[in-house]
Amino acid sequence: MAATVFDPPERFVAGTVGPPGGRTFFLQASGSGRLVSVSLEKVQVSVLADRVNDLLDAHAAGTATEPLGAGDTEPLTTPIEDEFRVDTLALAWDTERGAVVIECHDQDPEEVEEDAVQTLRVVLTPQAARAFARRCGAVIAAGRPACPFCGQPLDPTGHICPRANGYRR
């Protein structure tokens, strides 16, 4: 397994490239002069943020998990060239260190030979993990607004709403 490990990273963020409705989502880790970007689906970013928050709520009780300051609001570092497209995400709590471990795999490690899997592993403090989850939420929310009737994303020209019997809103 070809693994790139950031323990800890100088920066680990989610971000996008492109206009709402045509965005490509990325996770980007940097540190020690290295920069690794991986692409993934919007829903993967959303679920990862939810699960990181759940993990912190369950396992980091008694430790400070609130990030200091407003968090990282800077854009992704360029050039943005994805190393691979994320197929499988793994999330764990390292009890000994009190840290969150996030792994991104280009293939499911259980379905292929271990040597064929590319992996990005990032180890985060509870504060950094909470800040990462908050940024993920902000990135997701920055997309197209939802239709108040059906919940589907609205295009600038409107959309054909199923709740309006096919009429354009």
Q: What is the pLDDT of residues 138-163, one digit of tens each?
A: 999 888 888 888 888 887 777 788 87
pLDDT at 19: 87
Comparing 61 with 90, the larger pLDDT belongs to: 90
Report pTM: 0.85
User: Which pairing describes strands 118-124 and 2-6: parallel, antiparallel, or unpaired?
Assistant: parallel
pLDDT over 80 at 71, yes or no = no
What does the mean pLDDT of the chain come to? 88
pLDDT at 60: 76
Query: What six digits make up the tokens of 58?
Result: 């369950």
39, part of any domain: yes
Q: What is the pLDDT of residues 21-68, one digit of tens each?
A: 889 999 999 999 999 999 999 999 999 999 999 999 998 776 666 766
* CATH code for position 119: 3.30.2450
Cα–Cα–Cα angle for 93, 45, 79, rounded to 5 degrees: 105
pLDDT at 67: 66
Query: What six digits make up the tokens of 169?
Result: 């809103």
Query: What six digits make up the tokens of 36?
Result: 């690794």
134, part of any domain: yes
14, part of any domain: yes
Amino acid residing at 117: V
**Residue whose pair of structure tokens reads 């990030």 in the numeric block:** 67
Helix (H, G, I), strand (E, B) or coil at 130: helix
pLDDT at 164: 75
Number of domains forming the structure of the chain = 1
pLDDT at 20: 83
Enclosing domain of residue 119: 2-164
169, part of any domain: no
